[in-house]
């Protein structure tokens, strides 16, 4: 029997199902910011792909943004054609992703979530994103994330 957390095991299965080639790393403690994750992984903060779930009028919208950027919700809402993007509550995040804030991955949700990706991440050969648990991350490439998520490239700032 594996001692892997069920959320990470679920993510691992989904990554394999989608043909992901990256590795999963479980960090010794939860990394609550892109800066802490980058420090733990030995990469630039810009190579951290934050998965931010927003509430767009009771519909989820996932934005994969570089750890070097903040999402301008007004501009992004206008760009993607929704009235507004609001910070999602923990219950909203759990309901639409099956994951908790801090561990939301770009994949493995109960139902498809419209996903947008920050083109800034293209600058990095390797990017890191959450793997379904606050202490777990996985490596990928910009192109692989695009394929696995069906994301639309969108400027976020």
Q: What tens-digit pLDDT sequence spans the chain (157 residues)?
A: 468 899 999 999 999 999 999 999 998 776 678 888 899 899 999 999 999 999 999 999 999 999 999 999 999 999 999 999 999 999 999 999 999 998 999 999 999 999 999 999 999 999 999 999 998 999 999 999 999 999 999 999 8
Q: Write the CB contacts of 61 (distance below 8 Å, at least 6 apart in sequence).
A: 53, 54, 55, 80, 82, 85, 113, 114, 115, 116
Tokens 């009771």: give the residue.
58
**First and final CA of the chain: distance in angstroms?**
45
The helix or strand, by DSSP H or E, that contains position 11, with its residue range, turns out to be: helix 6-17
Taking the CA atoms of residue 152, residue 153, residue 154 and residue 157 in that order, the dihedral angle to the nearest 10 degrees is 140
Please state which of the four CATH numbers 3.90.960.10, 3.40.50.720, 3.20.20.70, 3.30.479.30 is assigned to the domain occupying 6-153. Answer: 3.90.960.10
What is the reported pTM? 0.93
DSSP annotation of 73 reads H
Q: Where are the domains of the chain?
A: 6-153
């Amino acid at each position: 029997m594996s001692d892997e957390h069920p959320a990470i095991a679920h993510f691992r299965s989904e990554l394999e199902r989608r043909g992901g080639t990256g590795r999963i790393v479980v960090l010794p403690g939860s990394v609550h910011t892109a800066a802490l994750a980058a420090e733990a992984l030995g990469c630039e903060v810009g190579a951290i792909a934050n998965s931010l779930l927003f509430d767009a009028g009771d519909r989820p919208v996932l934005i994969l943004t570089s750890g070097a950027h903040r999402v301008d919700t007004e501009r992004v809402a206008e760009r993607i054609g929704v009235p507004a993007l609001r910070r999602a509550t923990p219950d909203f995040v759990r309901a639409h992703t099956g994951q908790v804030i801090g561990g939301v991955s770009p994949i493995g949700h109960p139902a498809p979530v419209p996903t947008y990706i920050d083109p800034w991440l293209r600058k990095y050969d390797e990017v890191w994103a959450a793997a379904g648990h606050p202490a777990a991350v996985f490596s990928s490439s910009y192109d692989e994330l695009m394929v696995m998520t069906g994301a639309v490239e969108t400027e976020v700032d």
